[in-house]
Amino acid sequence: MNKITISDNELSYSNLIGTGSEGRVFKYDNQALKLFYQPTENKLNKLKVLSQLNIKDFVMPKKLVFDQHNNFSGFTMPLINLSNDKNLEVRIKNLNTLKEKIYYLKKQEELIKRAHENNLILIDLNPKNFIIDKNDNLIAIDT
């Protein structure tokens, strides 16, 4: 896996895409860059394994990120072009019929099956971890 080194002054909060329980995500050099609040050896090892996988409709890490002191800090991943509804939770709340809701739940089930076929176990099935792109594809973003 390739790695990049980044210094704090290279990031701007104007490039902040979002925050979560584990860290912040920035737009950086036409990709997404996730920086952990508390990077750990376990996270580093997990990312090394995940970066070797290529599963359809899963956003996987591409490069490890280290700070200027060579401490592990996070990773890069593809930047996804989101729909207006952005995540599965918002989309389902805005749907009117049970048939429409089942459509997206089946898409989620297909993603989970693909993960299992690749020996990947999804722990956090929060609908916020599944986004919908502009082509109506459901994509897992937090594996």
Q: Global pTM?
A: 0.76
For 86-141, the DSSP string reads: EEHHHHHHT--SHHHHHHHHHHHHHHHHHHHHTT-------GGGEEEETTS-EEE-
pLDDT at res. 37: 95
pLDDT band for position 82 (cuts 50, 70, 90) = low
Of 54-68, 83-97, 115-129, where does mean pLDDT reach its minimum? 83-97
Better-scored residue on pLDDT, 84 or 114: 114
pLDDT band for position 84 (cuts 50, 70, 90) = low
